[in-house]
Amino acid sequence: MTTRSLPDGFEDLQPLVADWALDNEKDRYWKLHRSNIEDLRRFFDAVFARIDDIIDRLNQTPLGSFSDEEKTLMYLAMTFAETAHPIDLKWKDVDFNDAYTWEKFEFRGVSLAPTPV
Amino acid sequence: MTTNSITVFKGETSHLRRMVSVPDRISKEGYQRELEMIFSRAWLPSASASDIPDKGSYIVVDIPPKKTSVVIVRGNDGIVRAFQNVCRHRGDQLVHGGQGCRKQFTCGFHGWRYSLEGALIGVTDDTQFPELDRSKLGLIPVNCEVWNDLILLNFEKTPHMPLKDWLAGIYDQYSGYAEGCEKVGEHRVVLNANWNMAVNAFCEGYHNMYIHKYTVPDYQGGKNNPMRHRAYIEVGKRFGRYSAHANMDHKRTPAEAVLYGRSRPLFPSFPKTDPKTQTLGINPSRFEEWAFDIVHLFPNFVFNPTANGHQYMWFWPINEDHVELRVVNYAFKARNAADRLAQAYSRVRLREVLREDLATMEAASRMIATGSLPFMVFSQQELLIQNHYAIADEMMGRAPEPIEQRPLTAA
């Protein structure tokens, strides 16, 4: 498998790419539910510390014109946006008590296709 | 009525009942009656017009209570039409799922071809069909109307009521609400629940303080409205709607703060809106601290506009104790990466709120299905549910609620 690299200046996030730079909502949801809260917190902390830099960098390129490196960075940030809530809301686990069985939730259309970036 | 509340009520409520019988509504027979008297006669929101923007764009929609598949297509004349998704030859499904854009429809079974307007335009090996009258073999139409961004279907031969009358009270109030938005999420869940119970759960805000404590602990109400009463509740002939009160002291969580700070606020942040820029039906009472509206279009559809986006929720009955939820989220069109990230954050917060709702719904439905609950009791904050059952009873020609509306303190 070829290594997906990030734009210059984001080398510190490279170790996260293989596991966390995911291109669609379903994969990001499954990644969340198959992680433990400690792994999730480490990912959150690493990206949260750079999120303003990431947005500054990616906002320079119009959507639809991203290079492969920019896409990878964007997908990493998308996974952050879609897995941040357990940390944001101070949950003790990646899911909450009495949540509807996560595996039964289905993704369709735009939630299944790669997010347009 | 004395309500000790900020809620402004609108609409005729004298016929509504705060106690509603349950067992016969969830029975097999009750469901059959709903199919005949409600789902076979109602105008049913079924798709979004933005799904078929161009000439030749089509979408295939399953309608579970009618056990049918419908193809909705924008013709070369720009008109949106709906057809039973069946070839007139031997009944094969004409279009197999999904959506797209075509010049014509060709049946996979024997190659019969139909125009976008439904005419039979090609029969293969047609010398073997002596005296075939093609003009009588067009696709079978389903009554179809476009209302703003929604496409509504009606399965009667001739609708007993035009859409304009069906939507009396709101028909003219929502023009342009979907402009500038794009689809950002689409989810589906099949629940072990009766469809009435499912749609009811999204027609009141009374529950939000209790079951949404994990996902959105502080989004509604606030110091001036500790019980989180609705700002506005309106019941109409075949709709009900409410406006929710945004908590002005909502504390944005860390990711929420940075992602919305770089873009625009979306759920569960509720920015101040300018009523002058909003269409009449959205935040109809022009409440200052507005969060979002819930608009229930009877029988089984909920429209949920908020600042910078909206959500559609379908509650399609499969049988008396299974319901298919389809939830589609829209947000303002992304201009850049920051907007895309804000959209993503919001759709997930909404998704998790929904997962909180679903767990309760299945548990309640399991108990209700035992038949042990003789009736349900509704508060003034649950007026939309009272209205739901009143409309259902009217359509089914059912006598007004048989449960004696005695004071709740009676023995």
Q: Residue A52 and residue B345: Cβ atoms within 8 Å?
A: no
Side chain identity at B40, as an amino acid letter?
S
- The predicted pLDDT at position B371 comes to 84
pLDDT over 90 for what percent of chain B? 80
- The predicted pLDDT at position B1 comes to 47
Residue among B263, B327, B341, B345 with most chain A CBs within 10 A, to mutate: B341
Is 50 exceeded by the pLDDT of residue B226?
Answer: yes
Report, at the CATH architecture level, how domain B8-40+181-395 is classified: Alpha-Beta Complex (3.90)
**What is residue A2's DSSP assignment?**
P
Who contacts A99 (Cβ-Cβ below 8 Å, separation ≥6)? B214, B352, B355, B356, B359
- The predicted pLDDT at position B223 comes to 86
Side chain identity at B289, as an amino acid letter?
E
| Cα Rg, chain B, nearest whole Å | 23
Residues on chain B touching A85 (C-beta within 8 angstroms): 215, 253, 255, 348-349, 352
- The domain segmentation of chain B, as residue ranges, is 8-40+181-395, 44-158
Higher pLDDT, B304 or B363: B304
Q: Contact at 8 Å (CB) between B336 and A74?
A: no
Side chain identity at B3, as an amino acid letter?
T
Residues of chain A whose C-beta is under 8 A from some C-beta in B?
A: 25, 44, 48, 51-52, 54-55, 58-59, 61-63, 74, 77-78, 80-82, 84-85, 87-89, 91, 96-100, 102, 104-112, 115-117
Closest CB from B185, B215, B341 relative to A81? B341
- The predicted pLDDT at position B41 comes to 98
Q: What is the pTM of this model?
A: 0.95
Is 60 exceeded by the pLDDT of residue B244?
Answer: yes
**What is residue B211's DSSP assignment?**
H
B133-156: per-residue pLDDT in tens?
999 999 999 999 999 999 999 999
- The predicted pLDDT at position B360 comes to 83
DSSP per-residue string spanning B94-120: SS-SSEEE-SSEE-TTT--EE-TTS-E
- The predicted pLDDT at position B277 comes to 81
A44-88: per-residue pLDDT in tens?
999 999 999 999 999 999 999 999 999 999 999 999 999 999 999
List B290's β-bridge partners, or say none.
B245
Q: Residue A115 and residue B345: Cβ atoms within 8 Å?
A: no
B79-137: per-residue pLDDT in tens?
999 999 999 999 999 999 899 999 999 999 999 999 999 999 999 999 999 999 999 99
- The predicted pLDDT at position B406 comes to 58
Residues of chain B whose C-beta is under 8 A from some C-beta in A?
A: 183-190, 211, 214-215, 217, 253-256, 258-259, 262, 328, 334-338, 340-342, 344-345, 347-349, 351-352, 354-360, 362
Q: Contact at 8 Å (CB) between B74 and B57?
A: yes
Domain B44-158 in the same topology as domain B8-40+181-395: no
- The predicted pLDDT at position B112 comes to 98
Closest CB from A48, A59, A104 relative to B255? A48
- The domain segmentation of chain A, as residue ranges, is 25-111
Provide the pLDDT confidence category of residue B398 given band limits of 50, 70 and 90: confident
Residues on chain A touching B347 (C-beta within 8 angstroms): 25, 82, 111
Is 70 exceeded by the pLDDT of residue B400?
Answer: no
Taking the C-alpha atoms of residue B212 and residue B216, their distance in angstroms, rounded to an integer, is: 6
Q: Coil, helix or strand for B234?
A: strand
Taking the C-alpha atoms of residue B8 and residue B5, their distance in angstroms, rounded to an integer, is: 8
The tokens describing B119, both together, are 């005419």
Q: What is the CATH number assigned to the segment(s) B44-158?
A: 2.102.10.10
Taking the C-alpha atoms of residue B351 and residue B179, their distance in angstroms, rounded to an integer, is: 23
